[in-house]
């Protein structure tokens, strides 16, 4: 026969209980009718603080159960310190609790004429504030939950405040708790804060990967007001759901608020508003208009203006410094929230940190970082705040970096490039555009690189940037422009989409330890033109060959270059080529070296060059070719050398005249010798 009543009976922890194993505890259930006495099963002696379980398998249900009779039979004068008895109707799931908190004295089994029968009425034990009943689903719970090493935590939200964390611990490792399709009761004593009428709860657990608990519903009985609050869960708690990082927020099945037609409605949105500590203490207004109203906006609809007010004057004041206030509302369901409008009608200065809105149906939460003062009445001039889903927080900014086409195409910077962006509301500091291996393939001459940066806070209107280059001491980089695209710059109420805005910052200068002014940091305002100050006017590239080199690694000489140009037959030089921009030691075998000429103005078309070194007869240097690039005009002059500069070689010389493709008609005898130039 299937049981129709489940009975839990608890033994007190601080009072002596000394009944024997053979003792019998008899109970009779009394209501409109009554059962006969039947025994409470116990397979071991009752010990201090134990909880035992028994079942009644009779044929009758007792309507209006409100009394029980207890009788203890033993072979000696023993006693049982009973704390409480809880009786659950397994067909209706109703639970009746009988607070005993007394000593039941035994009747000697042989003394039939002096049976000691005690009658108890239902009620609540003193010191208990809430009875929390949890219905376990058909999948049950893991042993760590059932043994109490892992437990559920609740937080209650009411119209008067928020409770502290309430752990639901299984008492004394009772394995009959949390069975499939079973309801268990937890007693909660005095709490730190007053909650009032419960509107919603948070659920989370401290379990691990292997822990789980299938919960159908939770019912909370407020002992002081005798009110019941029901919460439908229907969730399977595990490592991915109901944890500290994935809190389940469950609204009460019936709201304490009234809808427009006067019927009870279920709140489908929870609004949490965090007031900053900067806000001064104030007295809340009593006028008809609320101090704060909001409007929710999605890609299709706007909600009606939602006033955020206290339900009645008996609950705490709202919008006080450092306080988080919660409002449960019932509105037409909306799509993904994009914008929040704030209307302020208060007479006090108010600093709002953030507003979080949770869709109770989908479980999605949206965060709106406000972080601004409201000091003036803007009831008809709202402030627009953009929001994001809490499971995907981060504002994306697309950054396009353009490098000028004056470097060798495959130049790879070694180090990192950092960008700071400064906006109206916040800043993104030292975001890495490239670092280490991430620099490979980036920032080549004439290239455009697009990098996405993510900021935890929305920057607002961008006004300036700071670019910092941390590379090897022989390197520099010529950045042309930086463009930043904000895809959530504003909201277009006509098309109901986000408006994209582009911010352009021209740089146009060399950065790095090898730049002429060795500048590694530059700050640029939007659309400000720094110009081409101290940029190199010419870049000289030289390829060293491999023939007849005296030294296997490099040559310890000074190499000079002289330019012969068309403007007034000007001669420029000598130019000492001693600092290679891309190599630590110049003129090694098979190596291409780059030299930047920063202080030479435009001299027209280059007709010829003179190339020599001061090593004399002791040094031979094989030069393959020379390439000279005019940065401003983007003109390239190539000179094929393919000779060894060595005075001892018959075909060689340490002093060469080289022509570009169009040779100059100037008489070579008019050219000054290298010795006279150097002197």
Q: Say yes or no: 141 and 101 in one domain.
A: no
CATH number of the domain at 73, please. Answer: 2.60.60.20
Quote the CA–CA distance of 15 and 116 in Å, as a whole number. Answer: 20
531 Cβ contact partners less than 8 Å away, ≥ 6 residues apart: 508, 509
Q: What is the pLDDT of residue 257?
A: 38
CB distance 308 to 355 below 8 Å? no
Domain boundary residue, one of 121, 152, 172: 121
Q: Say yes or no: 67 and 153 in one domain.
A: no
Residue 204: which H helix or E strand, with range?
strand 198-205
**31, part of any domain:** yes
Q: Say yes or no: 26 and 111 in one domain.
A: yes
**620, part of any domain:** yes
Domain boundary residue, one of 392, 413, 439: 392
Q: What is the pLDDT of residue 667?
A: 43
- pLDDT tens for 630-646 read 877 778 888 888 888 87
Quote the CA–CA distance of 237 and 346 in Å, as a whole number. Answer: 43
Residues of the chain with pLDDT under 50: 173, 254-264, 286, 314, 409-410, 529-534, 650-652, 663-679
What is the gyration radius of the CA atoms in the chain, in angstroms? 42
SS (H, E, C) 605-649: CEEEEEEEECCHHHCCEEEEEEEEEECCCCEEEEEEEEEEECCCC
Q: What is the pLDDT of residue 485?
A: 92
CA angle 169/171/177 to nearest 5° reads 85
Does residue 439 sit in helix, strand or coil? helix
Q: What is the pLDDT of residue 353?
A: 93
Q: What is the pLDDT of residue 550?
A: 54
Q: What is the pLDDT of residue 399?
A: 93
CA angle 470/475/476 to nearest 5° reads 80
Domain boundary residue, one of 100, 121, 142: 121
Range of the domain at 210: 130-251
Q: Say yes or no: 667 and 544 in one domain.
A: yes
Q: Which residues of 108-140 are buried (b: 16+ CB within 10 A; e: fewer)?
A: eeeeeeeeeeeebeeebbeebbbbbbbbbbeeb
**465, part of any domain:** yes
Q: Tell if the pTM clears 0.75, that is, is over it.
A: no
**264, part of any domain:** no
Quote the CA–CA distance of 363 and 163 in Å, as a whole number. Answer: 21
Q: Say yes or no: 80 and 134 in one domain.
A: no
**262, part of any domain:** no
**72, part of any domain:** yes
Q: What is the pLDDT of residue 662?
A: 53
Q: What is the pLDDT of residue 581?
A: 76
260 Cβ contact partners less than 8 Å away, ≥ 6 residues apart: none
Q: Say yes or no: 92 and 140 in one domain.
A: no
Q: What is the pLDDT of residue 400?
A: 93
Does residue 203 sit in helix, strand or coil? strand
Q: What is the pLDDT of residue 77?
A: 81
Q: How far is CA 22 from CA 26, 43, 46, 597, in A?
A: 13, 9, 11, 106
**213, part of any domain:** yes
Q: Say yes or no: 412 and 479 in one domain.
A: yes
- pLDDT tens for 399-457 read 999 887 765 544 577 788 899 999 888 899 988 888 776 677 788 877 888 999 988 88
Q: Say yes or no: 470 and 445 in one domain.
A: yes
Domain count, the chain: 5
**261, part of any domain:** no
**Nearest Cα residue to 289 out of 352, 346, 331:** 346
């Amino acid at each position: 026969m299937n049981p129709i009543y489940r009975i839990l009976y608890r033994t007190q922890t601080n009072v002596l209980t000394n009944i024997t194993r053979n003792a019998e505890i008899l109970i009779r259930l009394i209501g409109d009718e009554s059962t006969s006495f039947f025994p409470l099963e116990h397979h071991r002696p009752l010990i201090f603080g134990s909880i035992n379980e028994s079942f009644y398998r009779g044929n009758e249900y007792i309507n209006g159960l409100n009394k029980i009779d207890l009788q203890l039979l033993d072979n000696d004068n023993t006693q049982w310190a009973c704390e409480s008895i809880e009786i659950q109707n397994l067909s209706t799931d109703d639970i009746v609790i009988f607070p005993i908190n007394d000593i039941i004295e035994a009747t000697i089994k042989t003394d039939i004429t002096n049976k000691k029968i005690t009658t108890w009425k239902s009620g609540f034990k003193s010191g208990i504030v809430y009875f929390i009943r949890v219905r376990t689903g058909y999948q049950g719970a893991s042993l760590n939950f059932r043994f109490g090493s892992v437990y559920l935590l609740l937080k209650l939200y009411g119209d008067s405040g928020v409770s502290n964390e309430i752990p639901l611990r299984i008492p004394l490792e009772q394995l009959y708790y949390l069975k499939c399709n079973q309801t268990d009761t937890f007693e909660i004593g005095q709490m730190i804060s007053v909650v009032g009428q419960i509107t919603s709860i948070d659920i989370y657990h401290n379990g691990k990967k292997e822990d789980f608990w299938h919960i159908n519903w939770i019912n909370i009985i407020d002992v002081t007001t005798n009110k019941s609050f029901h919460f439908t869960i229907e969730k399977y708690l595990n490592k991915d759901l109901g944890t500290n990082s994935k809190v389940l927020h469950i609204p009460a099945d019936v709201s304490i608020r009234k809808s427009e037609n006067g019927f009870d409605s279920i709140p489908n949105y929870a609004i949490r508003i965090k007031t900053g500590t900067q806000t001064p203490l104030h007295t809340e207004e009593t006028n008809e208009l609320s101090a704060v109203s909001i409007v929710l906006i999605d890609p299709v609809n706007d909600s009606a203006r939602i006033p955020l007010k206290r339900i009645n004057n008996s609950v705490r004041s709202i919008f006080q410094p450092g306080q988080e206030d919660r409002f449960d509302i019932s509105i037409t369901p909306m799509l993904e929230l994009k914008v929040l409008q704030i209307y302020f009608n208060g007479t006090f200065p108010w600093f709002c940190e953030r507003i979080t809105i949770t869709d109770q149906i989908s479980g999605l939460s949206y965060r709106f970082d406000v972080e601004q003062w409201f000091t003036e009445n803007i009831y008809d001039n709202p402030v627009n705040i953009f929001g994001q889903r809490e499971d995907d927080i981060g504002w994306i900014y697309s950054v396009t970096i353009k490098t000028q086409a004056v470097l060798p195409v495959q130049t790879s910077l070694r180090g990192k490039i950092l960008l700071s962006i400064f906006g109206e509301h916040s800043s993104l500091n030292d975001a890495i555009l490239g670092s280490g291996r991430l620099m490979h393939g980036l920032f080549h001459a004439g290239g455009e690189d697009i990098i996405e940066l993510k900021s935890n806070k929305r920057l607002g209107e961008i006004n300036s940037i700071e670019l910092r280059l941390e590379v090897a001491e022989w390197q520099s980089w010529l950045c042309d422009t930086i463009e930043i695209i904000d895809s959530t710059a504003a909201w277009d109420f006509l098309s109901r989409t986000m408006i994209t805005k582009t911010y352009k910052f021209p740089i146009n200068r060399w950065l790095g330890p090898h730049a002429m002014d060795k500048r590694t940091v530059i700050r640029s305002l939007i659309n400000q033109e720094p110009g081409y100050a101290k940029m190199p006017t010419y870049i000289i590239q030289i390829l060293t060959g491999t023939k007849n080199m005296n030294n296997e690694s490099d040559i310890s000489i000074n190499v000079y270059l002289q330019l012969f140009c068309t403007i007034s037959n000007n001669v420029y030089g000598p130019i000492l080529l001693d600092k290679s921009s891309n190599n630590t030691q110049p003129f090694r075998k098979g190596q291409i070296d780059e030299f930047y000429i920063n202080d030479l103005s435009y001299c027209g078309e280059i007709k010829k060059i003179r190339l020599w070194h001061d090593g004399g007869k002791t040094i031979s240097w094989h030069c393959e070719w020379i390439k000279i690039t005019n940065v401003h005009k983007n003109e390239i002059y190539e000179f094929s050398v393919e000779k060894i500069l060595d005075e001892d070689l018959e075909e060689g010389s340490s002093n060469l005249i080289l022509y570009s493709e169009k040779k100059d008609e100037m008489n070579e005898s008019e050219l000054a010798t290298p010795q006279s130039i150097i002197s």
